Amino acid sequence: MPLLLLVAGSAAVAAAGRRVPVPVPLLLVAAGLAVSYVPGVPDYTLDPHIVLPLLLPPLLYTAATDSSYLDLRAQARPVALLSVGYVLFATFVVGCAAYLIVPGLPLTAALVLGAVVAPPDAVAATAVARRVGLPSRITTILQGESLVNDATAITAFKVALAAAVGEGATWAGGIGEFLIAAVGGVGVGLVLMVPLHWLRTHLTEALLQNSLSLLIPFVAYAVAEQVHASGVLAVVVVALYLGHRAWEVDFATRLQEEAVWKMVAFVLESAVFALIGLQLPVVLKGLGEYEGIDAAWYALAVFLVVAVARFVWVYPATFLPRLSARVRAREGDLSWKGPFVIGWAGMRGVVSLAIAFSIPLTVHGGEPFPERNLILFLTFTTVIGTLVVQGVSLPPLIRLLKFPAHDVQAETLAEANAQAQASRVAELRLDELLADERNALPAPLADRLRMVLERRRNAVWERLGQVNSVTGETVDDTYRRLSREMISAEREVFVRLRDGRYIDDEMLRTLLRRLDLEEAAAYREAT
């Protein structure tokens, strides 16, 4: 029952949040904070054994399939510097700062805290990038970072945790573990991606293909973790490959898959942000000697170190490689605005909390893990601080910086040229097919095929031309609107015939599906 209430409540808040100017993730966190103190609401303790293997894989999978492999490859250097270099840098800087700021906190435990709060969150980054309309290069870098950095952070956490509990971890051993996890995760992804894609393209039913799609992230993650490799990297590699080759899957699968994964992402993202807010009572329990002013000062100090350390890394990592003439020639001019947004967009999220909750209660000698409750508290306040301060201020900051707007004219022209080339090839193919006696068609049907091609070719060009002086619509906009009105009229007739028992429900569903596909095609062209 608590789980059902969490999903239903977070989905309702997220739906309502789409109608207000406040970012939906912040609204969900605030709702979770408020609900956590309502009498009778149970404690929703984050279980890392649930969050990491059950929530993280599908969220990574949907974010990776929506990403562009080619764009990520083009931005491989900044993505790697952020997802690996920055995470390790933040682990060290935050750990050392916490060690100096908090009296009695051992350095090993402080480095555990540093690894926990080091990675910006994939869900938060994707949610912000969707909402604020960032330039494509910045969006690609943020998404690429958020896909890979969890693997770096989890490995750094394991190394720091081994030292903290007395397993005698060394720097050499930590580097070796990181390389094994990274290479192993990528290797598992490379091994799985081809057979999984082959299976997707050879299943004949869309329902079976989509059932497989829902299992893929969990399979990739579980296989990689089973061999002590990075499940995060395995999921990302598989998802990027499948997303890059999604055109090879049949249209019914793509239509269903898009709807299914949108629903899954909406439910999981909503529940994840609500869960963050619901953690407050759990985190505050047992804080003990660090309550009050001291705890607030430590929280503020760690948050500031996290925020400043990102800028300290981002600007040198952005501009130092540009000392190379080859890099400058390839990437062109670069202003300070892009790195500033990347530096300010380091929101933390549920992965940091899940990792923090996986800290054991005791070390090997049986003593309590040093300052475990304080680490949980500082993780929580850092997550909330970055979501509130950076999440709220990022959209107006981007508007203030006035990034160049998308060149709609150029994008439409590129789309029109692409459609024109495709239509010419399709027309030649149609002529070849109709020349074969086995493909003989009555003239009206052959003309209809050509008319469909012509309408697709002309539709994009019309967006560059004149519009209706009364309605402001292009000719193709008007065509689509009238088409939908006609479909709506047909739909009403079919329902009326069903209600009058002239046709049964099975026939109604067949007829409505045909209309739905036509309307979906018109809607997708319009958007």
Flag whether 7 is in a domain.
Answer: no
Contact in structure between 58 and 123 (CB atoms under 8 Å): no
Tally of domains in the chain: 3
pLDDT at res. 286: 65
Let me know whether 139 and 247 are in one domain: yes
Helix, coil or strand: residue 306: helix
The last residue of a domain, from among 348, 382, 401: 401
pLDDT at res. 61: 93
Flag whether 309 is in a domain.
Answer: yes
The last residue of a domain, from among 465, 482, 514: 465
The structure tokens listed for 483 are: 């088409």
Instruction: Flag whether pLDDT at 126 surpasses 70.
Output: no
Q: Which residue has the higher pLDDT, 57 or 135?
A: 57
Instruction: Flag whether pLDDT at 83 surpasses 90.
Output: yes
Let me know whether 100 and 243 are in one domain: yes
Flag whether 266 is in a domain.
Answer: no
Alpha carbons 477 and 454: distance in angstroms, whole number: 15
Segments forming the whole domain that contains residue 85: 45-257+289-401
Measured on CA atoms in the order 478, 483, 488, 493, is the torsion positive or negative? positive
The DSSP code for 387 is: I
pLDDT at res. 527: 45
Q: How far is CA 141 from CA 126, 233, 314, 317, 348, in A?
A: 11, 16, 12, 13, 16
Residues 6+ apart with CB under 8 A from 139: 129
* Domain CATH code at residue 318: 1.20.1530.20
Let me know whether 472 and 453 are in one domain: no
Count CA within 13 A, CB hemisphere, residue 154.
26
Where are the strands (E) in 314-402, listed by range?
none
Helix, coil or strand: residue 514: helix
Alpha carbons 263 and 155: distance in angstroms, whole number: 31
When pLDDT is cut at 50, 70 and 90, the band that residue 467 belongs to is low
Q: How far is CA 364 from CA 16, 106, 107, 347, in A?
A: 48, 16, 17, 34
Alpha carbons 352 and 399: distance in angstroms, whole number: 29
Instruction: Flag whether pLDDT at 128 surpasses 70.
Output: no
Instruction: Flag whether pLDDT at 123 surpasses 80.
Output: no
Nearest to 76 by CA among 349, 316, 321: 321
pTM: 0.85
Instruction: Flag whether pLDDT at 525 surpasses 60.
Output: no
Q: How many other C-beta atoms lie within 10 A of the C-beta of residue 245?
A: 15
Three-class SS of 134-152: CCHHHHHHHHHHHHHHHHH
Q: How far is CA 373 from CA 95, 187, 294, in A?
A: 16, 37, 14
When pLDDT is cut at 50, 70 and 90, the band that residue 233 belongs to is very high
pLDDT at res. 466: 62
Q: What is the mean pLDDT of the chain?
A: 84
Flag whether 297 is in a domain.
Answer: yes
Which amino acid is residue 165, in one-letter code?
V
pLDDT at res. 313: 96
Identify any residues that bridge with 368 across adjacent strands, giving them in sequence order: 362
Let me know whether 341 and 424 are in one domain: no
What secondary structure does DSSP assign to 234-265, as a single string? HHHHHHHHHHHTGGGS-HHHHHHHHHHHHHHH
Least confident of 38-52, 165-179, 233-247, 436-450: 165-179
- Rounded average pLDDT over 88-112: 93
Phi, psi of 362 (to 5 degrees): -135, 160
Look up tokens 């047992």; give the residue.
286
Flag whether 56 is in a domain.
Answer: yes
Q: Which residue has the higher pLDDT, 376 or 473?
A: 376
Let me know whether 118 and 142 are in one domain: yes
The last residue of a domain, from among 376, 401, 426: 401
Q: Which residue has the higher pLDDT, 330 or 231?
A: 231
When pLDDT is cut at 50, 70 and 90, the band that residue 189 belongs to is very high
Contact in structure between 229 and 185 (CB atoms under 8 Å): yes
pLDDT digits (tens, 9 = 90+) for 246-300: 888 887 788 888 889 989 988 888 888 888 888 878 787 767 667 678 888 999 9
Let me know whether 355 and 423 are in one domain: no
Let me know whether 360 and 447 are in one domain: no
Q: Which residue has the higher pLDDT, 391 or 2?
A: 391
Flag whether 180 is in a domain.
Answer: yes
Alpha carbons 496 and 179: distance in angstroms, whole number: 65
Instruction: Flag whether pLDDT at 481 surpasses 70.
Output: yes
Flag whether 10 is in a domain.
Answer: no
When pLDDT is cut at 50, 70 and 90, the band that residue 513 belongs to is confident
Instruction: Flag whether pLDDT at 132 surpasses 70.
Output: no
pLDDT at res. 439: 83
Contact in structure between 334 and 65 (CB atoms under 8 Å): no
Flag whether 21 is in a domain.
Answer: no
Instruction: Flag whether pLDDT at 118 surpasses 60.
Output: yes
Greatest Cα-to-Cα distance within the chain, rounded to the nearest angstrom: 88
- Rounded average pLDDT over 1-8: 77
Let me know whether 342 and 486 are in one domain: no
pLDDT digits (tens, 9 = 90+) for 199-223: 998 887 888 888 999 999 999 999 9
Instruction: Flag whether pLDDT at 224 surpasses 90.
Output: yes
- Rounded average pLDDT over 327-346: 83
Nearest to 351 by CA among 52, 113, 32, 3: 52
Q: Which residue has the higher pLDDT, 45 or 427?
A: 427
Alpha carbons 348 and 215: distance in angstroms, whole number: 27
Let me know whether 154 and 214 are in one domain: yes
Highest mean pLDDT among 96-105, 328-337, 466-475: 96-105
Let me know whether 418 and 333 are in one domain: no
What share of the chain has pLDDT > 70, as a percent? 89
pLDDT at res. 526: 45
Nearest to 234 by CA among 190, 178, 180: 190
Let me know whether 103 and 145 are in one domain: yes
Let me know whether 394 and 411 are in one domain: no
